Amino acid sequence: MIVALIMGFASGLPLLLTLSVLQAWMKEEGVDLTVIGLMTLVGLPYTLKFLWAPFFDRYTLPFLGRRLGWLLLAQLLLVCAICFLAFTDPGNQPWTVAFVAFWVTFFSASQDISIDAYRREDLSDAELGLGASLYVNGYRVGMLIASGGGLIMADYIPFRIVYLIMALCMVPGMITTIVTPEPNAPPGTPGSMKAAVLDPLFEYFSRTGAVWILAFILFYKIGDTMASAMTTPFYLDIGFTKTQIGAVVKLFGFWATIAGSLVGGIIMLKIGIHRSLWAFGFLQAASTAFFAWLAHVGPSVPGLSAVIAFENFSSGMGTTAYVAFMASITNKRFTATQYALLSSLMGVPRVFASAPTGYFAKQMGWELFFIFCSLAAIPGLLLILTFTKQNINHSK
């Protein structure tokens, strides 16, 4: 089980090195907001990882085995890419930064593919719940170290050193990969692309309302995602220090998200997924609008704390319902493949909807921008009307 925790940490650490931490570095170097917004496009590999995932199932490297061999290779290349990113110059060569950051996300997404496959093959059915919990907690700790710890360190040392320290933090994950035994390969290893990809797709699209459910997955968190893409430049722009951002947004916000996830899970036991999607989605939209209030108030630490508590708590609940919904609609015969496809689709707004957010913020101003993001959540809520509880409970 401790392996799941460490692998979760290794998986979560790189994510924000190409998002909020990189945004703060670029903002400090005077990069235009429009360019900073476009940098979210480097996260495209997280969205498209299902395209090369079957390759990891089909072939085995000549060391460590089918799962751990690919995992170690991805981790080695990921560490190298993070080190290369540390020596780039965001102020003078933002597009070189984008190129290197793209490879960071590609190798990070490849690591995720291997880790997800390893967890499913290594843990018994009885251990999957606890294993998933440890993995998610490790993932969040990795994100916290990268973003919260990274921003606090950046107030005292150059960002270049911060990135080298983050590369060093990947070493425990690599050691774990080397010393962990390879899981037994399940029978029926995919021998064709049809078996690995097409059959799950055909099964899913044979369902009534399949397209509407995909639309819902795309739009449910789009407002929250668009707002999140610009929060770090927003905090810096209105006068918060990097230490205040690290302490309040990242550290305090981390625990608010954990609390929201736990409370959301308890509420879902009482009212079910369908009604939870409505309630939590509304709270997400409302919390986004409160950033407009913060833009009006200015750099108030108590104000920031209140907004972050509300936003992260509601986002934690919304994400819990969102993930539970996706798990509930996967067919048990194709759980791994269908969930990978759905989770990739979940990442589309983070890449494409976030790309123009810098331009929107620049043209609208911060207050109007966050109101716009709040209203952008409405289509996702309305799409809940297009499917029934029977759709949600489809897990045969």
Residues 269-280: pLDDT tens digits? 788 778 889 999
Q: Which range scores top for mean pLDDT: 30-34, 327-331, 384-388?
A: 30-34
Question: How many other CB atoms sit within 10 Å of the CB of residue 205?
Answer: 10
Q: Count CB-CB contacts under 10 A for residue 353.
A: 20
What pLDDT score was predicted for residue 35?
A: 81
pTM of the predicted model, to two decimals? 0.68
Q: Which of 226, 227, 225, 246 is nearest to 236 (CA)?
A: 246
What are the structure tokens assigned to 24, written together?
A: 């703060």
Contacts of 188 (CB under 8 A, 6+ apart): none
What is the pLDDT confidence band of residue 37, given thresholds at 50, 70 and 90?
A: confident
CA-wise closest residue to 386 among 263, 216, 269: 216
Query: Is 127 a residue whose pLDDT tops 70?
Result: no
Q: What does the pLDDT read at residue 185? A: 67
pLDDT in tens, 84-119: 999 998 888 888 999 999 999 999 999 988 887 787
Structure token digits, residue 136: 């998610």
> What are the strands, taking DSSP E only, across 223-380?
none
The pLDDT value recorded for residue 393 is 47
User: Within the chain, what is the greatest distance between any pair of CA atoms?
Assistant: 60
- Of 140 and 392, the structure prediction assigns the larger pLDDT to 140
Which pLDDT score is estimated for 30?
84
Q: Are 97 and 81 spatial neighbours (Cβ–Cβ below 8 Å)?
A: no
Residue 396 above 80 pLDDT? no
pLDDT (average), residues 305-318: 91
pLDDT tens column, 182-230: 877 665 566 676 777 787 788 788 888 888 888 998 899 899 889 988 8
CA neighbours within 13 Å on the CB side: how many for 276?
26
Residue 128 has pLDDT above 60, yes or no: no
Across the range 63-73, mean pLDDT stands at 86
Looking up tokens 């793209």, which residue turns up? 102
Domains delineated in the chain: 1-189 (1.20.1250.20), 192-396 (1.20.1250.20)
Instruction: For residue 325, give every residue at least 6 positions away whose Cβ sits within 8 Å of its Cβ, in sequence order, or none.
Output: 273, 277, 392
Compute the radius of gyration of the chain from its Cα atoms. Answer: 20
Instruction: Determine which of 29-43, 205-219, 323-337 has the lowest per-residue pLDDT on average.
Output: 323-337
Q: Which two tokens stand for residue 49?
A: 């990882």
| Token representation of residue 86 | 């540390």
Question: Residue 132: what pLDDT?
Answer: 59
Least confident of 165-169, 197-201, 235-239: 197-201
Q: What is the DSSP letter of 332?
A: G
**Residue type present at position 356:** P
pLDDT at 312 > cutoff 70: yes
pLDDT of the residue at 126: 54
What is the structure's pLDDT at 116? 77
pLDDT at 296 over 60: yes
| Confidence bin at 122 (pLDDT 50/70/90) | confident
**CA angle at residue 7 from 5 to 13, to 5 degrees?**
100
The residue that leads in pLDDT, 324 or 143, is 143
Q: Which two tokens stand for residue 306?
A: 């209140």
